[in-house]
Structure 1
Protein backbone atom coordinates (compact mmCIF):
# COMPACT_ATOMS: atom_id res chain seq x y z
CA UNK A 1 0.00 0.00 0.00
CA UNK A 2 1.22 3.50 -0.85
CA UNK A 3 1.61 5.92 1.98
CA UNK A 4 1.26 9.66 1.57
CA UNK A 5 4.32 11.70 2.39
CA UNK A 6 3.64 15.15 3.89
CA UNK A 7 5.02 18.16 2.06
CA UNK A 8 8.31 19.39 3.44
CA UNK A 9 8.08 22.43 5.68
CA UNK A 10 9.99 24.69 3.30
CA UNK A 11 7.54 23.97 0.47
CA UNK A 12 4.57 24.88 2.67
CA UNK A 13 6.37 28.04 3.81
CA UNK A 14 7.14 29.09 0.21
CA UNK A 15 3.54 28.42 -0.89
CA UNK A 16 2.07 30.40 2.00
CA UNK A 17 4.50 33.26 1.45
CA UNK A 18 3.73 33.46 -2.27
CA UNK A 19 0.00 33.55 -1.57
CA UNK A 20 0.45 36.34 0.98
CA UNK A 21 2.62 38.38 -1.40
CA UNK A 22 0.09 37.95 -4.21
CA UNK A 23 -2.79 39.08 -1.98
CA UNK A 24 -0.80 42.08 -0.70
CA UNK A 25 0.11 43.16 -4.24
CA UNK A 26 -3.48 42.78 -5.46
CA UNK A 27 -4.68 44.88 -2.53
CA UNK A 28 -2.04 47.53 -3.22
CA UNK A 29 -2.97 47.73 -6.89
CA UNK A 30 -6.67 48.04 -6.03
CA UNK A 31 -6.03 50.85 -3.53
CA UNK A 32 -3.72 52.67 -5.96
CA UNK A 33 -6.28 52.47 -8.76
CA UNK A 34 -9.06 53.68 -6.44
CA UNK A 35 -6.98 56.66 -5.34
CA UNK A 36 -6.02 57.51 -8.93
CA UNK A 37 -9.65 57.22 -10.09
CA UNK A 38 -10.87 59.52 -7.33
CA UNK A 39 -8.11 62.04 -8.02
CA UNK A 40 -8.88 61.89 -11.73
CA UNK A 41 -12.63 62.49 -11.39
CA UNK A 42 -13.24 64.74 -8.35
CA UNK A 43 -11.84 68.26 -8.07
CA UNK A 44 -13.03 68.56 -4.44
CA UNK A 45 -11.01 65.46 -3.53
CA UNK A 46 -7.97 67.00 -5.22
CA UNK A 47 -8.52 70.12 -3.07
CA UNK A 48 -8.63 67.93 0.05
CA UNK A 49 -5.39 66.25 -1.04
CA UNK A 50 -3.87 69.67 -1.81
CA UNK A 51 -4.55 70.84 1.73
CA UNK A 52 -3.67 67.61 3.57
CA UNK A 53 -1.48 65.32 1.42
CA UNK A 54 0.24 67.61 -1.05
CA UNK A 55 2.98 65.07 -1.84
CA UNK A 56 0.45 62.58 -3.25
CA UNK A 57 -1.26 65.25 -5.34
CA UNK A 58 2.10 66.46 -6.64
CA UNK A 59 2.86 62.93 -7.83
CA UNK A 60 -0.53 62.75 -9.56
CA UNK A 61 0.08 66.06 -11.33
CA UNK A 62 3.61 65.10 -12.40
CA UNK A 63 2.45 61.76 -13.78
CA UNK A 64 -0.30 63.45 -15.80
CA UNK A 65 2.09 66.09 -17.15
CA UNK A 66 4.69 63.54 -18.22
CA UNK A 67 2.37 61.00 -19.79
CA UNK A 68 -0.39 63.06 -21.39
CA UNK A 69 0.75 66.69 -21.13
CA UNK A 70 -2.28 67.58 -18.97
CA UNK A 71 -2.66 71.06 -17.51
CA UNK A 72 -4.81 69.91 -14.59
CA UNK A 73 -2.62 71.64 -12.00
CA UNK A 74 -3.05 75.11 -13.55
CA UNK A 75 -6.78 74.59 -14.10
CA UNK A 76 -7.33 73.41 -10.52
CA UNK A 77 -5.41 76.34 -9.05
CA UNK A 78 -7.33 78.79 -11.24
CA UNK A 79 -10.72 77.35 -10.24
CA UNK A 80 -9.85 77.17 -6.53
CA UNK A 81 -8.55 80.75 -6.57
CA UNK A 82 -11.67 82.04 -8.33
CA UNK A 83 -13.90 80.20 -5.84
CA UNK A 84 -11.84 81.54 -2.91
CA UNK A 85 -10.96 78.10 -1.59
CA UNK A 86 -7.22 78.76 -1.46
Structure 2
Protein backbone atom coordinates (compact mmCIF):
# COMPACT_ATOMS: atom_id res chain seq x y z
CA UNK A 1 0.00 0.00 0.00
CA UNK A 2 1.27 3.44 -0.93
CA UNK A 3 1.65 5.99 1.80
CA UNK A 4 -0.84 8.84 1.63
CA UNK A 5 0.69 12.23 1.15
CA UNK A 6 -1.23 15.32 2.21
CA UNK A 7 -2.50 17.61 -0.51
CA UNK A 8 -0.66 20.87 -0.81
CA UNK A 9 -2.23 23.80 1.02
CA UNK A 10 -2.67 25.69 -2.24
CA UNK A 11 -5.25 23.16 -3.47
CA UNK A 12 -7.29 23.50 -0.29
CA UNK A 13 -7.15 27.27 -0.71
CA UNK A 14 -8.24 27.05 -4.37
CA UNK A 15 -11.15 24.71 -3.55
CA UNK A 16 -12.31 26.90 -0.67
CA UNK A 17 -12.03 30.03 -2.79
CA UNK A 18 -13.95 28.43 -5.65
CA UNK A 19 -16.79 27.44 -3.30
CA UNK A 20 -16.91 30.93 -1.80
CA UNK A 21 -16.87 32.53 -5.24
CA UNK A 22 -19.68 30.27 -6.43
CA UNK A 23 -21.87 31.14 -3.42
CA UNK A 24 -21.10 34.86 -3.79
CA UNK A 25 -21.95 34.76 -7.48
CA UNK A 26 -25.25 32.98 -6.77
CA UNK A 27 -26.18 35.58 -4.14
CA UNK A 28 -25.34 38.45 -6.50
CA UNK A 29 -27.36 36.85 -9.28
CA UNK A 30 -30.38 36.40 -6.99
CA UNK A 31 -30.15 40.02 -5.81
CA UNK A 32 -29.88 41.39 -9.34
CA UNK A 33 -32.82 39.27 -10.49
CA UNK A 34 -34.88 40.47 -7.52
CA UNK A 35 -34.08 44.09 -8.38
CA UNK A 36 -34.94 43.53 -12.05
CA UNK A 37 -38.22 41.80 -11.11
CA UNK A 38 -39.22 44.64 -8.81
CA UNK A 39 -38.37 47.23 -11.47
CA UNK A 40 -40.32 45.24 -14.02
CA UNK A 41 -43.49 45.01 -11.92
CA UNK A 42 -43.59 48.18 -9.78
CA UNK A 43 -43.88 51.55 -11.51
CA UNK A 44 -43.50 53.48 -8.25
CA UNK A 45 -40.19 51.72 -7.64
CA UNK A 46 -39.06 52.71 -11.14
CA UNK A 47 -39.93 56.31 -10.28
CA UNK A 48 -37.85 56.05 -7.10
CA UNK A 49 -34.95 54.63 -9.10
CA UNK A 50 -35.37 57.42 -11.67
CA UNK A 51 -35.16 60.09 -8.96
CA UNK A 52 -32.17 58.56 -7.15
CA UNK A 53 -30.29 56.40 -9.68
CA UNK A 54 -31.23 57.53 -13.21
CA UNK A 55 -28.34 55.65 -14.82
CA UNK A 56 -29.70 52.35 -13.45
CA UNK A 57 -33.13 53.03 -14.91
CA UNK A 58 -31.53 53.90 -18.24
CA UNK A 59 -29.81 50.49 -18.28
CA UNK A 60 -33.13 48.84 -17.41
CA UNK A 61 -34.78 50.55 -20.38
CA UNK A 62 -31.90 49.60 -22.69
CA UNK A 63 -32.19 45.95 -21.69
CA UNK A 64 -35.95 46.14 -22.26
CA UNK A 65 -35.43 47.60 -25.72
CA UNK A 66 -33.03 44.81 -26.61
CA UNK A 67 -35.42 42.14 -25.32
CA UNK A 68 -38.42 43.68 -27.05
CA UNK A 69 -40.44 45.90 -24.68
CA UNK A 70 -39.56 49.20 -26.32
CA UNK A 71 -42.53 51.20 -25.01
CA UNK A 72 -41.77 51.04 -21.29
CA UNK A 73 -39.78 54.28 -21.32
CA UNK A 74 -42.56 56.23 -23.06
CA UNK A 75 -45.27 54.68 -20.90
CA UNK A 76 -43.48 55.64 -17.70
CA UNK A 77 -42.72 59.16 -18.93
CA UNK A 78 -46.34 59.75 -19.94
CA UNK A 79 -47.67 58.41 -16.63
CA UNK A 80 -45.24 60.47 -14.55
CA UNK A 81 -45.96 63.59 -16.60
CA UNK A 82 -49.73 63.18 -16.20
CA UNK A 83 -49.43 62.49 -12.46
CA UNK A 84 -47.23 65.59 -12.03
CA UNK A 85 -49.84 67.67 -13.86
CA UNK A 86 -52.57 66.33 -11.56
CA UNK A 87 -50.56 67.29 -8.48
CA UNK A 88 -50.04 70.82 -9.84
CA UNK A 89 -53.77 71.27 -10.38
CA UNK A 90 -54.64 70.17 -6.86
Q: Same fold (TM over 0.5)?
A: yes
Structure 1 position 5, deviation (Å): 3.6
Structure 2: where are the runs of 5+ without partners?
none
**Are 2:23 and 1:23 equivalent residues in the alignment?**
yes
RMSD: 1.7
Structure 1: where are the runs of 5+ without partners?
none
Q: Counterpart in 2 of 1:14?
A: 14
Q: Counterpart in 1 of 2:53?
A: 53
Instruction: Give the TM-score normalised by the residue count of structure 1.
Output: 0.89
Between the two proteins, the alignment pairs up a number of residues equal to: 85
Q: Counterpart in 1 of 2:66?
A: 66
The secondary structure found in structure 2 opposite 1:28 is helix
Q: Distance in 2 between matches of 1:66 and 1:18?
A: 33
